[in-house]
Structure 1
Amino acid sequence: MGPARDDDHARWRDHRLPDVRPLDPVHSLKVKLGLLVVASVTVAVVITWVGLRNELGPSRTFPLAIIVSLVLTQVLARGMTSPLRQMTAAAQTMADGDYSIRVRSTSQDEVGQLAEAFNTMARDLEASDRIRRDLIANVSHELRTPVAALQAQLENMVDGVTEPTPSSLELSLEQTERLSRLVTYLLDLSRVEAGASALMLTEFSVGDFLEECAEAMSMVDAAKGLTYVVDVTPEDLPLEADVERLRQVVTNLLQNAIRHSPYGGTVRLDAYPQGDAVVIEVGDEGPGIPAEDRDRVFERFARGTTDARPQPSASGGTGIGLAIVRWAVDLHGGHVAVADSEPGATMRVTLPAVARPAPGVTTESGA
């Protein structure tokens, strides 16, 4: 009999035998085994005693007692070990790439705990596999679009269809910058996966810093004609942080705001003290973020569940930028969230005014 027929026979036998779990409430596997031994011995003794009382004789009573005890043991042991068999079958299924299978976990003993841990592992693997698929889909799409546009523009110039005018060269540069941003996102993501967690701490003026960020983004994304408003209270508000990491945070938030802002809209950058922390807010006048998506937007490759805000792939985003924002803010011991605002969306970053990095983060003092 081949392996396939053995598996079929085993599944057929499993379906024929009952899956009874009367010992599930017991919290210890040792106690279960003890109860199993006591139950089988008790049944054998009772059958032997009844048989002898009815003068059936040992030749009939003993075999009957043994058979009934074995059947009882088989039924109870099958219920005890059922999660183990399910985990074996699930592991084989997961090896083929299907992570959706779960193990029935009703017992309270060590086997039940193992089944719960197995289900947790299966959920984590399913999430990781989904992230991997999303990564391939997002990166493939984001790379293909600017590469195809850039290739078409350059081919037209080489073939003489279009002249290499400043405007056509500007379009080519725009696609190149988009590719550069995507590569930067992927490099940052690799640092996240590698656990890179070093900060170069410097004390600086938040107002001057936000002005620089706004000016840089206004020159890069001038096509929409956006107005940038920087409001810092007080004007000399200080902050101790890693300037480059924080520039990465604000730049990603600005790019997100620019992507979703209407033409001629306003992007706000506000900062103010709050207790022993500094709050930085980046707001736009776009369609906003639905309440049910506000906890998900900072996950890698997250996509909204509604059309209230354009999908990342449709608007030039990758679903990576906000995940990098959360990572960089977490390194500083702060937190980032979507604040309630009408209209548009406001991203609120809260950082300790005096550096208080997360545990395990190494720090150096910058100039």
Structure 2
Amino acid sequence: MDLYGVSVRGLLVALIGFALTRFTVTLAATETTREFLFTGLIPLVVGLSLTAFGVVLAVGTYDELLLQKTLRWCLLGTGSMSILVVVTVVGVEPDVLTDPTVVREQTYLSNFLIGGSVGGALTGLYAARAARQRETLTQQTNRLVVLNRLLRDKVINSAMAIKGHADVLQDGLNDDSVDVVGRQADSIVQVIENVKYLSETADTDDISLGPVDVGNCVESELDTLESLNSDVDCSFDGPDEPVEVRANSQLAEVFRHLFENAVEYSDADTPRLAVSIEASRTTATVHVRDNGPGLSDEQQALLERGEIAEYDDPTTGFGMNIVRLLVEGFDGRIETSVDEDGTTVSVQLPRVAGDALEEGRRPRRRACRRQRLLLPSRSDWLRG
């Protein structure tokens, strides 16, 4: 949530710190210097620190989960402490609600509000870290399950084909069988290489990522789609200036699967595909809109949260899993929306950090060309 390039959540944290610090400043105006040094200096410093921390969150590039958790817990800490302060003041001075003088005498209790807000902010940071760790562990577990199924499915199918044609070759040379054996052997090698790549992307620190112009990537895949499907109606709406995200050449594979799925399973006379790019300070979101029958609830859960069935489910296929695994490798997110007119799949990717684009430090831009990931021959995007 940004406003003119500034995170609103971070700004709210800063405003909370600033507002609570004003109470401490009131202490400085009503008490002696000695009293203030003992009772107000530390809360003043802590409150100003919270304000500065909020400003850093507002202008910096931080994960949305961290911003959400920090603001939520900061508000919760401030609200909880406010209730305790009100109950304490009313219990000690019943006339506090009608006598402004009594209110000023109890101003020192506002220091507890600062403590509650700072404690809540720190709790939010810890909660965001714990949530991210749980999410990472879940993603890695699901990744291993998917890769195991992919490897087992493709290798077993290829091995069975090789075995069958090997029996044919025992009766004599057959050119068709020789070709099939060669293709299936190459297929096994390709799948193993792809599984290796996808397993390495489980940790983005272990793969090479750099700036990729997502607009060029999307346009290239749309051009390829239109060249292969003359009856498809495609439209693209993107910013004029380059929008660089942190990814690699496999980003094109994400859009290839999304575009091909939208066209292949459209039940309309003329398949329509509307693609747009929405850029913010920290992210770039590619919206892919089709006029098909819509993804099922299971398919949406798979794309958005990585929820996979306990047993193999051909209705989900491997294509959606590949898209999800690649986007996770880029530290991105996927959202879906289904209505009576079709499906919208939104792929949100982190933009390249500003400090990486400084003069003399700009990383080499990656070309958006990919090595096609070979998937099992069964339908990857079967709709329910």
Q: TM-score range by the shorter chain?
A: 0.3 to 0.5
Greater share of helix residues, 1 or 2? 2
Larger RCO, structure (CA 8 Å, separation 6 or more):
2
TM-score under structure 1 length normalisation: 0.44
